[in-house]
Amino acid sequence: MDPRSAIIPKRMESVRRIIAVAAGKGGVGKSSIACGLALALHDLGYGVGLLDLDFYGPSAHVILGVREDIRPQEEYGILPPTVDGIKFMSLVYYASEHPVPLRGLDLTNALIELLAITCWGPLDFLIIDMPPGLGEATLDLIRLLPRAEFLVVTTPSRVALATVRKLIELLKQQRVSLLGVLLNMQHADSSSLVISLEVPLLEALPFDPQWEAALGDRARLVRTLVYGRLREVAQKIQKIII
Ligand SMILES: Nc1ncnc2c1ncn2[C@@H]1O[C@H](COP(=O)(O)OP(=O)(O)O)[C@@H](O)[C@H]1O
Ligand SMILES: [Mg+2]
């Protein structure tokens, strides 16, 4: 057995709940929702961490506006820097804005390494911004952190719904906890499309042009419609007992 995998549950010992924000596709709003939800839970008074596991397309640092001079500290592991009250960990601290050409086992190793070295300390919620789809990282996460609860994001597009259906089927097969579906960039009457997924619709979020303009600026992000809905999501999540 890889000794690092054995360390991971120890590292997560003081983390009360782990929430993976996942989707079948890219571009549906996973990172926006992961960041907005982390801010909303922090605003409700919880201790929150955010881990960007989208190694190929990391975005959480852009949405939160993480300054380039912010670095993790080493102390028998890595201490994630606190950004807007949220402990934030990402491979971008090491890779900067360069591509990370990881394949197969190398990707799994990077994921294990990040989970094994990060010292989160006590947290109420660790939010994980997942890469799109049902690939290596999703399967690794289910294996390494089986208690992670999944929040599934989709848009009303039939293309997004078709892939999210597969993701939900996989999560059910793997007996993963499913918190529910968030319908992002909703348009009139699209909520009914989610019924066919047979997973509760937690919330629908409108398309909000203010969101893109607010990226990187916490003060503006929290004034958007999307953030308002994510506060409601945070309130619902705190009441869900899996
Ligand atoms: N509800 C929304 N309203 C307006 N723009 C949004 C909304 N959700 C996401 N976006 C925008 O859509 C794009 C993709 O979002 P992102 O969170 O990066 O998706 P993913 O992580 O699934 O690839 C970004 O430009 C983001 O600002
Ligand atoms: Mg993303």
What confidence tier does 196 reach under pLDDT thresholds 50, 70, 90? confident
pLDDT tens digits for range 139-159: 999 999 999 999 999 999 989
Q: Over 80: is that where the pLDDT of 60 sits?
A: yes
Choose the residue to mutate in 184, 211, 230 for probing ligand 1, maximizing ligand atoms within 8 Å of C-beta.
Answer: 211
Q: Over 90: is that where the pLDDT of 1 sits?
A: no
Percent of the chain with pLDDT over 70: 100
The chain-wide mean pLDDT, for the chain, equals 94
- Nearest Cα residue to atom 19 of ligand 1: 29
- Tell me the three-class secondary structure of the chain, residue by residue: CCHHHHHHHHHCCCEEEEEEEECCCCCCCHHHHHHHHHHHHHHCCCCEEEEECCCCCCCHHHHHCCCCCCCCEECCCEECCEECCEEEEECHHHHCCCCCCCCHHHHHHHHHHHHHHECCCCEEEEEEECCCCCCHHHHHHHHHCCCCEEEEEECCCHHHHHHHHHHHHHHHHCCCEEEEEEEEEECCCHHHHHHHHCCCEEEEEECCHHHHHHCCCHHHHCCCHHHHHHHHHHHHHHHCCC
Q: What is the pLDDT of residue 3?
A: 85
Ordered structural domains, the chain, with CATH? 3-239 (3.40.50.300)
CB of residue 131 inside a 6 A radius of ligand 1: no
Q: What is the pLDDT of residue 194?
A: 85
Q: What is the pLDDT of residue 74?
A: 85
The environment of the single-atom ion ligand 2, i.e. residues with CB closer than 5 A, is 30-31, 54, 59
Q: Over 80: is that where the pLDDT of 28 sits?
A: yes
The model carries a pTM of 0.95
CA 26–ligand 1 middle distance (angstroms): 9
